[in-house]
Each structure stands twice: as structure tokens, then as C-alpha cells.
A = this chain, B = another copy of it.
Amino acid sequence: MKILDAEIACEVIRPRLSETHKGDYGRVLVVGGSEPYGGAAILAASASVYSGAGLTFVACAAENHAALTARLPEAIYVDAKTASFEENLTRADVVLIGPGLGLGSGGLLEKVLRGLSAEQTVILDGDAITLWAKKATKTQARLIFTPHQMELERLSGLAIGSQTDAALQAFVEKVGAIIVAKGPETRIARPGWEMEKVIQGVPAQATGGMGDTLAGMIAGFVAQFHSDQAVSAAVWLHAEIAGKLAESQYVVLPTAIISQIPFEMHNVIK
């Protein structure tokens, strides 16, 4: 078990090269935001944008279109019911499905998983994990899960008390996916790789929307940093920002973390 520290961020977050354009920083497609849960998709997309993804698209319910655009004009809306969705799916570097998805979207999850190729990454968060636990559709894409403890139980069959490092690693090897097992200490497990742990998380961040925010950061990092450790760096930086903000705030809200991302990413490389 490796305890992550600032080094992981230094390795992953590299100074941008001057001859680059937004196309070099990846396309993220967030799929979620069913009618009641638009905020979750907005938070995830915001975290992706503020992490530096080149382009961030959001496929969400039409009822949340106006709020998305008002809140985050940098993002682009996608109507999941039109052909533009398929096109965006094909062109995305990273698809994050789950934030605010709702449990009625099993068909959409299947469509996403089947539609992706081996060059793409798909991150399953929140309800997408619960849906996948019921019906594990195969996918060509690199697969990342970001479960909290209850979702990990559904996903792996491991009861919360039995989610030991060994059991988690064994499941990761079996399923062939990266798992970000969220908790007071978040573990990152990868097939054939030493497990990593982030220990500076703070309980001030225990509030609704935080998981969506972390998932969005992971998406943004994976899209732009072509490194196996992008996931680890995102998890570490998220906890680092939360810890810093908790020095002056009793509760650290997702929107507070999001606005700090560009500054803390810069602190890493300066």
C-alpha cells in the first residue's frame, strides 16, 4: 500500500506545452443529470472544466439544460435522445456516467458501455455503479469505478466490513477495472499495481455532490494527462483542496472545491 502525497500530483500535472490547443486536452462527456438531479451533472462537468479538460459535454435531461448553461457556459449540452449523442460518445476521450443519472437509466448505461472502443475510458459513478452491479454490460473501454462503501458492496458483493485491501484487490483483478473506493481514506486499486491510499481527506467534505465533483476531476485529469496515474493525482488533489479549505470552513462545498482547482493545479507545478 502506497500512501499518496504531493509527488503524485507533480508527476502527473505537467506544465502545458506552448504549441498546444484545446484538442490536446481531451473531450469529456458527462452522462447524468436526470430530472431531479441536474446539480450532480453540473458539479461533475464543472470539475472537469476547472481541471482543464479541453472540451466538456453534458448529456442530461432537457429540464436541466438552462441551469447547466447559466451555471457553466464553458460546457456544451447534448440531447441524449438525438444522433448528436452517438457522435459525442464516439468522439469522447472520457465518458463519465453516473452523476445524477437515476436508477431508471439502465438502457442508457448499456448503450454507452457497448458504444465505446478500447481507446476510450469510461468512469462509472453513483447510480451507474448500482445499475452495473445488477447487469454488467461488457465494454471495450478502459473501466473505472468510483464507488462509496455501499456502492462497492453492491458492485463487488463484499459487505462493508469485508472490504479489506486484499479483497478489494482480488475483485479489481477479476473485474479488470480501476476502482476508486471512496471513504475516510480513499483507496485506488488497479489490476497488477500496488494499491494506493489518500489519507488527508477531511470530514468537512462529507456533503451532497462531493462524489460528483471528484468523479468530474478524475474525468478531467484522465482526459488531459495520458498517464496511468491521472486517477491517483485527481483523488489526491481533491482531498488536498478539501483539506486546505477546511482550515477556514466547517463544511467544504463542492462549488468551493471546484473554484480552487486551477489554483491548486498551478501550485503543484510552480
Contacts and interface: CB of A to CB of B under 8 A. Distances in A.
A77 to B, nearest CB: 5
Q: Which of A22, A78, A261 has the most CB of B within 10 A?
A: A22
Nearest to A24: B206
Interface in A247-265: 248-256, 261-263, 265
Top 4 nearest A-B pairs by Cβ distance? A39-B73, A250-B265, A52-B251, A16-B203
Contacts of A66: 63-64, 66-67, 70
A78 B17 contact: no
Nearest to A51: B251
Nearest to A65: B63
Interface residues of A, number: 74
A216 to B, nearest CB: 11
Q: Which of A73, A148, A248 has the most CB of B within 10 A?
A: A73
Contact of A20 (B54, B184, B266): B184
Contacts of A67: 66-70, 73
A82 to B, nearest CB: 9
* Identical subunits present: 4
A243 to B, nearest CB: 12
Interface in A11-70: 13, 16-22, 24-25, 35-40, 42-43, 46, 49-56, 63-70
Nearest to A211: B22
A124 interface: no
A51 B56 CA distance: 26
Contact of A18 (B21, B55, B203, B251): B203
A20 B203 contact: yes
A50 B13 contact: no
Q: Which of A39, A63, A74 has the most CB of B within 10 A?
A: A74
Contacts of A159: none
A258 to B, nearest CB: 10
A207 interface: yes
A246 to B, nearest CB: 8
27 contacts: A16-B202, A19-B184, A20-B203, A21-B206, A22-B210, A24-B206, A36-B76, A37-B76, A38-B77, A42-B69, A50-B251, A50-B253, A53-B207, A55-B207, A63-B65, A64-B69, A67-B68, A69-B71, A74-B254, A75-B208, A248-B263, A249-B263, A250-B262, A250-B265, A250-B266, A251-B262, A253-B262
